[in-house]
Amino acid sequence: MSVINDIDVILMNPLDLKYFLAVSETLNVSRAAERLGVGQPALSMALKRLETATKSQLLIRQKTGVQLSSTGRLLAARGRKILEDLDQLGRALTSSQQKIEGRYTLGCHPSVASHMTPAFLPKLLHSHPSLEIHFAHGLSREILEEVISFKVDFGIVVNPTRHPDLVIHELTKDEVSFWAADNACEDVLICDADLNQTQDLLRRIGNHRAKIFNRFLYSKNLEVIAHLTSKGCGIGVLPGRVANLHHSKTLKRYGTNWPSYSDRICLVYRADQQRTAATKTVIEAIKSAKF
């Protein structure tokens, strides 16, 4: 006796299986086609596809109708349960897509997380207790690549480059410039040398840099840079939002006519991934926040 295995079931078209079950009940292709409201050629093609998927002869054709082969009898016995299971799976998947629940990863630089996420995250988490948000931190260009490669669901990134798979929505703007406290050591520059913004600003002040700054403090953490700058350790290269987040009373823009770098802070996500009610809710919460 032929055996219908799990691979056979996966390859079956549910509609073809439904047609086969109608034939198994009537043992007549014409009457089954009439009951289903389809043409006999369409029904015959469905039966042929099902036999190809199972690699078995399901029906034995006779002058007065058809009889089920041994494999056909097995499929008829299991077919109804297969369709019920597929229907339940479909309803479960639809229900899952409609529920605002699950775990999602939001990628952003730690400093961006500090000054951006309080605008939407508390309300989002309070409103949807089955929703989990986890952070992935890194430079904006790193987060952008992780969104593209399906490792991160959403990103809040600075100055993203265009990509055909991404939706980019501008949330707000910022400005990176030089900051200092009143008692600053003016020959010390405090910065993250790996940031594009820092590199651009240092390039623009050019040879004057060597005359102004004799010493350098490097940190990957903008909050550390802001704190050290507020304590007078040197001149800090900072986004305005970071400088003002905790140090608005102590930090001021430094220098007259010194260059600055304009930033676009954007929400990025793959359009082909964000289709469930939960992902749409997260996206709308971020877009509608007041930054």
d(C-alpha 112, C-alpha 229), whole Å: 19
Token representation of residue 11: 């390859």
Residue 240: predicted pLDDT: 96
Give the phi and the psi of residue 40 in degrees, each rounded to 5.
-60, -40
Residue 1: predicted pLDDT: 42
For the chain, 291 residues long, give each residue's pLDDT as a single digit of tens.
445 555 455 557 888 888 889 988 999 888 888 988 989 898 989 889 988 888 889 888 887 888 989 888 888 888 888 888 777 777 766 655 567 889 999 999 999 999 999 999 999 999 999 999 999 999 999 999 999 999 999 999 999 999 999 999 999 999 999 999 999 999 999 999 989 999 999 998 886 665 688 899 999 999 999 999 999 999 999 999 999 998 999 999 998 889 999 999 999 999 887 778 899 999 999 999 999
Residue 62: predicted pLDDT: 86
Sort residue 91 into left (φ over 0), alpha (ψ -120 to 50) or beta.
alpha
Instruction: Assess contact for 74 and 1: CB atoms under 8 A.
Output: yes
Residue 64: predicted pLDDT: 81
List domains and CATH numbers for the chain: 6-98 (1.10.10.10), 102-291 (3.40.190.290)
List beta partners, residue 239.
176
Listed as own residue / partner, the contacts of 269-272 with beta carbons closer than 8 Å and 24 or more positions apart are 269/147, 269/153, 269/154, 269/155, 269/166, 269/167, 270/147, 270/148, 270/150, 270/165, 270/166, 270/167, 271/165, 271/166, 271/167, 272/165
Give the phi and the psi of residue 236 in degrees, each rounded to 5.
-100, 140
pTM (two decimals): 0.67
